Amino acid sequence: KQLFTLHTVQVPVDLIRFHDIWGPTVGSVEGQEWKNHRKIINYGFGPSTLPIVWEESIHQTETLIDRWARDEFVVKSPRTWMSRIALHVIAGIFFDTRMDWKDTESSNTNNDSYTSSLPNAILTIMLHLGVLFVTPRWLLGKLPFEPFQKTNKAFVDFTNYMLELRAKVLEKSDEVSTKRSRTMLESIVVAGSTNLSDPTVQPLSKESILGNIFFMMMAGHETAGNTLGFALLLLAVHPDSQNQVQQEVDDVLGERPKSDWSVETDYRALQKGYLGAVLTETLRLYHPVQFVWRTNVAETTVYDSTGDSHVVPANTLFCVNFAAAFSNPSTWPQAKISSAKRADLHFSRALDFNPTKWVHTREVTDNPTHWPFGQGGRTCPGKAMAQIEMVAVLATLLKNYSIELVITEDVLKACGDDHRIARERTRDDAIRRLEDDVEANLTIAMLKDLPIRLRGRFDETSP
Ligand code: HEM
């Protein structure tokens, strides 16, 4: 906590600058410059945005379920689909562009100036972020290999789309400023390009406007997508928790049509209740930001948990390890499982998934042991957006469907066609894989697919 609040401790901007594909962004600057960027992006998260996040997330989930029907409701890689849904919601909120689930190849542009549609360019860039970060811009278009060529085309298209959209907003900036509901792009362009009534806000260069839009797309895409992906897997291995969510979703939403579900009442009830607790517990065990960097610009005294002080020399690099802090067994009691069983299940953290601990304590904003959205001035500005999106997706899915693990024919055969034993074996294997197959670098992901299946809650076909 001290590292998020001491004024001598800052973000090591030199380490973060690789994100600056267009120009400096809120994530790569410090001091007064950061305050200015932050004020500008905060305009994008105004109250009119949140109901749109809610509605778009519900719409995207409904259409995704239709898409999954084509695969008989087997979802091979939950995380991939959930990252896609997060991107679709971002496209809706940021650009008022509705992405659909068609294969990318089929959504080409009708405009000769571009090689791909805006949704396609967004998708390609997000899938090739690594290429974009490590390749100098001048080299990107010259390398004759497909990933570089594809990324370069998407990068050029995306830049031109953004510039065109920015120019359109500036042409009608008076009209846009008085709109009740603005896209993220409109809010940032207006706040960052014109002199607002707030004299403390300095205009940003067009490169920084583009950079901030892109940075927020990145920050809001894998984070929410990964969390939802892990939440689906955890609910599949913990059917009791899933039942509790479904019970709550039924109580809160009843038989009302989705068009009546509201962000003011329904979202708030679900976020405060067990569904919000499931998401908080998922963020504790599989946090999408595994660590962040900080550095101190002057000698700094920090205190450990026993109260002892430590003097840290200036320019020390700190790795704030979210993953370790959120799983420290001295803070977070483990589930009561015999050590033999725990060893057999590879000491998987999935065993310790227990949302109940959050039901009454989650709203504590200054929790010293768990801060999934950060602490201090750099707290995540997308927190409300992410929470609304994640609650909307899970509520829409679990209202009519249950999530279960996929029992393969081989396992069923090996278990002598006994479905109960096969289910147990599949669950144990999934719990092991939720430890063994998890790769945690800067962010976290399953290395290999762990499929799930949706089953209609009101179907009677389950064996
Ligand atoms: C589950 C979802 C999310 C989680 C867990 C999360 C977590 C975080 C954390 C921990 C930080 C602080 C990093 C630090 O202290 O250095 C942060 C910063 C940030 N997040 Fe999020 N985030 C999520 C979703 C989003 C979304 C949806 C957006 C925007 C659309 C977003 C935009 C940002 C930005 C712009 C920053 C940098 C703020 C600054 O440096 O002032 N995040 N996020």
Among candidate residues 51, 63, 64, 40, the one with its CA nearest the CA of residue 93: 51
Ligand 1 atom index nearest CA of 386: 27
| Best mutation site among 90, 223, 228 for ligand 1 pocket (most ligand atoms within 8 Å of CB) | 223
Ligand 1 atom index nearest CA of 86: 27
How far apart are the CA of 402 and the centre of ligand 1, in A? 30
Domains observed in the chain:
221-455 (1.10.630.10)
Kindly give, in sequence order, each residue whose CB lies less than 8 Å from that of residue 339, ignoring residues fewer than 6 positions away: none
User: Which residue's CA is the closest to the ligand 1 atom numbered 21?
Assistant: 380
Digit-coded pLDDT (tens) for 241-271: 999 999 999 999 999 999 999 999 999 999 9
How far apart are the CA of 220 and the centre of ligand 1, in A? 7
How far apart are the CA of 124 and the centre of ligand 1, in A? 22
- Transcribe 410-451 into DSSP letters: HHHHHTTT-HHHHHHHHHHHHHHHHHHTEEESSSEEESS---
User: Which residue's CA is the closest to the ligand 1 atom numbered 19?
Assistant: 380
Residue 1 or residue 196, greater confidence: 1
Digit-coded pLDDT (tens) for 189-223: 988 887 666 788 899 999 999 999 999 999 999 89
Q: Is 269 helix (H, G, I), strand (E, B) or coil?
A: helix
What ipTM is given for this predicted complex? Answer: 0.99
How far apart are the CA of 373 and the centre of ligand 1, in A? 6
Digit-coded pLDDT (tens) for 100-157: 888 544 445 556 677 888 888 988 998 888 899 889 888 999 999 998 999 999 999 9
Pairing outcome for strands 309-312 and 291-296: unpaired
Residues near ligand 1 (Cβ within 6 A): 26-27, 38, 215-216, 219-220, 223-224, 227, 283, 288-289, 292, 372-374, 378, 380-382, 385-386
CB-count burial class (<10 Å; 0-12, 13-18, 19+) for 368: exposed
Among candidate residues 347, 457, 310, 448, the one with its CA nearest the CA of residue 398: 457
CA–CA separation, 340 and 320 (whole Å): 33
